[in-house]
Structure 1
Amino acid sequence: MRILFIVPSYKPAYIYGGPIVVIARLAERLVQLGHEVTVYTTTANGKTELDVRPGQTMMVDGVAVKYFKRITKDHTHVSPALWRAVWRTAKQFDVVHIHSWWNLLVLGAAGVCRLRGIKPVLSPHGMFCDYVLTANNSKKKQLIHNMIGKHLLTNTYLHVSSHMEWQESIRLNAKWKTEGGMVFNLVDLPVKDYARKENEVFTISFLSRIDPKKGLEILVQALARVRFDYRLRIAGSGDEAYVNKLKQLVKALDMEDKVEWAGWKGPEEKFSFFAESDLFVLTSLNENFAIVVIESLYVGTPVLISNNVGLSRYVDDNKLGWITGIDNIDEVAGKLTATYENREERRRIAREAREVINQDFNETRLAMDYVGLYQNSK
């Protein structure tokens, strides 16, 4: 198949987080299966631009990528050059796959596809969740949806990566009940093994972007109420003011001797970081998928995640960890205590998790599932 990806940003713009990795991984695996993948994206790299040649095709790990100039330097990513390219070439592809929503770049691309009689596959990557819809610029999003978004969404075939995202999405467009499907995101997992050992002090890890959405305040407040000894290792980076706010909370709760600020971890370092932990915790307010959950389980580290994490149903169904609500701090503290006390269950997960993840997140099988989804979208 000839496949066109349209995405606001692409690697090496890792500043935008997990979706960049997920989208690139899918494109690369489809190429390895013999499909021809082209990516139309922008030079976006936060408030700066990538050091690439706009408008020229570049091979990036086997994928043909065209980076187009954007005329805005914010999250709208407006790029008339990209829209023109979509208008000229979209019909040359067997399928057009649009990633993300709400920004003007993809809305414009979806509009061009409609005018050209093309029904693209749409992966919203969590953009239809309640948290996003009610967060910053919620009135603007509602206005965009009522004026043009609703109309454009009826001309798309939905792809989601979790059951939670499916439920959130079909509330926005009921047609997707029969015009969509769910396939997990591809996760880049290493081949090597990572030695695990139980720590003398129960070690809890967090690894992600340090952001209010991640619910770290909830975790810290809950740990302040437990009665067992623990060590909390926080890995990641974030806005300096927010990180300082968290550090002040830790100080106010007299937890400084129990909390380690481990800094940002690279692709190789993070798996060792997970393996050194007895439990990985993610008490997010919202998380469309959460690659870190799969990465932690892959090295055998059990997880405790909020019921707002997209993979919570998967973790629960496969008995790979614990799920908690986050509206009540005592509930979170209780779940933390349960994980600490249930050592045999943690040992069972450590023994069995990698085999489960290897089976369910085999990249070749998942990529073939995407091809099936593309065929069903016709």
Structure 2
Amino acid sequence: MKILFIVPSYKPAYIYGGPIVVIARLAERLVQLGHSVTVYTTTANGKTELQVPVGETVMVNGVAVKYFKRITKDHTHVSPALYRATWKTVRDFDVVHIHSWWNFLVIGAAMVCRMRGVKPVLSPHGMFCDYVLTANNSKKKQLIHNTIGKGLLKNTFLHVSSHMEWQESIQYNPKWKDDGAMVFNLVDLPVKDYTRKSNHVFTISFLSRIDPKKGLEILLYALARVRFNYRLRIAGSGEDEYVQKLQLLVQELDMDDKVEWAGWKGPEEKFQFFAESDLFVLTSLNENFAIVVVESLYVGTPVLISNNVGLSKYVNEKNLGWITGIENIDEVAEKLTATYHAQEERSRISREARNVINNDFNETKLALDYVELYENSK
């Protein structure tokens, strides 16, 4: 099968977080299964550009990637060169898979597909959640949807990675109820084992981009109300101004001696970081999936996540952790206290989680599920 991915950015533009890893992992696994995958993307790398050959095919771990210049340096990623290439070649592929939404790059690509009589698969990667729709330029998004977006979405087959994302997306296009499917994201999990650490103090970890969306303030306020001894390790990076705001909050809550700013953790470091924790916490305002949840469970660390995290239904059904609302700080504090006292349950999760994750997130199985999804999208 010849497959074309159209995505605003591609590795090594890791500045854009989890979706970059997820998309690349899927492309590479499909190639390993014998399929041909081409990626059309831009040189976007935040406010700068990737230093890569432009307009030429570059082989990246078996995937044929073409990076095109963008004429805007912001999140719109407008690239006339990519549109021209899509127009010329889109019919040469068996499947076209568009990733993301709301930026002009993918909306323009979707328009080209419709004009060329091609129905693409669309993975919005959380772009239809309430948080994204209301947090930034909500009026512009509504205008785009009402003028061109609604028609373009009707010409797509929906792919989502979680039950929550499914519910959010079909509100935007009810037609997807009969024209879409859910398949988990692929997660890059190491083969090696990680030794779990026995901590004298209950150790809670956070690892992600440090951003208001991640709900770190909620976690800090909740921890200020618990009555047990703990240590909170915060790993990740973010805008200096926001990180400083959080550091000031830690001081105001008199938690300096309990909070460690662990810095960014790379692919190798992060799994050991999880393994050294008794509990991973993610009280996000919204996450359509959350790779870190799978990564933490893989090394046997139980999770406490908000009900706004896409994998919350999965964690609850598999009994791999605790789910909390985040509207009430007392509820979060009570759930933290419950996990602290549930030592036997945490031990059970530590023993069983890896086998569950290995079964449910087997990359070959998931990649075959994507192939079936592609076949059903036609």
TM-score range for the pair, normalised by the shorter chain length: over 0.9
Q: Paired residue for 1:158?
A: 158
Partners of 2:40 and 2:247 lie apart in 1 by: 41
Secondary structure in 2 matching 1:289: coil
What is residue 263 of structure 1 aligned with on the other side?
263
Q: Once the two structures are superposed, what CA deviation does each residue of 1:330-352 show, in whole Å capped at 9, x if it has no partner? A: 00000000000000000000000
Counterpart of 2:122 in structure 1 is 122
Shift of the alpha carbon at 1:235?
0.2
Amino acid at match of 2:145: H
Counterpart for residue 11 of structure 2? 11
Q: Which whole-Å CA distance do the structure 1 matches of 2:47 and 2:232 have between them?
A: 33
Offset, 1:188: 0.1
Q: Deviation per CA, 1:350-369, whole angstroms, max 9, x where unpaired?
A: 00000000000000000000
- Residue matched to 2:170: 170
How far apart, CA to CA, are the structure 1 residues paired with 2:352 and 2:53?
Answer: 47
| SS of aligned partner of 1:195 | coil
The residue that corresponds to 1:49 in the other structure is: 49
State how far apart, in whole Å, the 2-side matches of 1:84 and 1:201 are.
58
Separation in structure 2 between the aligned mates of residue 366 and residue 214 of structure 1, nearest angstrom: 27
Instruction: Give the C-alpha shift of residue 15 in structure 1.
Output: 0.4
Query: C-alpha separation between the residues in 2 aligned to 1:284 and 1:199?
Result: 26
Match of 1:149 in 2: 149
d(CA) in 1 for partners of 2:373, 2:176: 13
| Residue 283 (1) aligns with residue 272 (2) | no
- Paired residue for 2:296? 296
Structure 2: gaps (5+ residues): none
Matches of 2:248 and 2:314 in 1, distance apart? 35
Distance in 2 (alpha carbons) for counterparts of 1:246 and 1:181: 39
In structure 2, distance between residues paired with 1:339 and 1:128: 32
Give the residue type in structure 2 aligned to 1:134: T
Task: Tell me what 1:195 maps to.
Answer: 195
**C-alpha deviation, 1:198, in angstroms:** 2.8
SS in 2 for 1:171: helix
By how many angstroms is 1:57 displaced?
Answer: 0.2
Letter in 2 for 1:219: L
| Distance in 1 separating the partners of 2:117 and 2:360 | 36
**Contiguous gaps of at least 5 residues in structure 1:** none
Give the structure 2 partner of residue 238 of structure 1: 238
Quote the offset at 1:189 in angstroms.
0.2
Q: Tell me, in whole angstroms, the C-alpha distance in 1 between the residues paired with 2:339 and 2:243.
A: 27
Structure 1 counterpart of 2:83: 83
Q: In structure 1, how many angstroms separate the alpha carbons of the residues matched to 2:247 and 2:68?
A: 40
Secondary structure, counterpart of 1:67 in structure 2 = strand
> In the TM superposition, what whole-angstrom CA distance separates every residue of 1:293-334 from its partner, at most 9, and x where no partner exists?
000000000000000000000000000000000000000000
The Cα shift of 1:53 comes to 1.2
Q: State the alpha-carbon separation in 2 of the partners of residues 330 and 245 from structure 1.
A: 22
* 1:65 has 2:65 as partner: yes
The answer to whether structure 1 residue 337 and structure 2 residue 337 are counterparts is yes
By how many angstroms is 1:251 displaced?
Answer: 0.3
Q: CA deviation at 1:136?
A: 1.1
The DSSP-based 3-state class of the residue aligned with 1:308 is coil
Q: Deviations over 1:198-236 (max 9, x none)?
A: 311000000000000000000000000000000000000
**In 2, Cα distance between the equivalents of 1:249 and 1:320?**
31
User: Corresponding residue for 1:184?
Assistant: 184
RMSD: 0.4
User: 2:75 and 2:105 mapped to 1: Cα distance?
Assistant: 9
Number of positions where the alignment pairs a residue of Structure 1 with one of Structure 2: 378
Q: Which residue of 1 aligns with 2:107?
A: 107
Q: How does 1:22-33 map to 2 (within 5 A)?
A: 22-33=22-33
Of all paired residues, the percent bearing the same amino acid is 83
SS of the equivalent of 2:172 reads: coil
Distance in 1 (CA, whole Å) between partners of 2:245 and 2:11 is 31
| Runs of 4+ with >3 A deviation | none
What's the offset of the Cα at 1:176? 0.2
Q: Please give the secondary structure, in 1, of the residue aligned with 2:136.
A: coil
Structure 2 residue identity aligned to 1:147:
T
Q: Secondary structure in 2 aligned to 1:209? A: coil
Q: Which amino acid in structure 1 is aligned with residue 116 of structure 2?
A: R
1:42-87 CA-partner distances (Å, limit 9, x unpaired): 0000111100111000000110000001000000000000000000
Q: What pairs up with 1:209-220 in 2 under 5 angstroms?
A: 209-220=209-220
Name the structure 2 match of 1:367. Answer: 367
C-alpha separation between the residues in 1 aligned to 2:177 and 2:54? 39
Counterparts of 1:198 and 1:280, CA distance in 2: 15
TM-score after normalising by structure 1: 1.00
Matched residues in 1 for 2:91 and 2:63: separation? 19
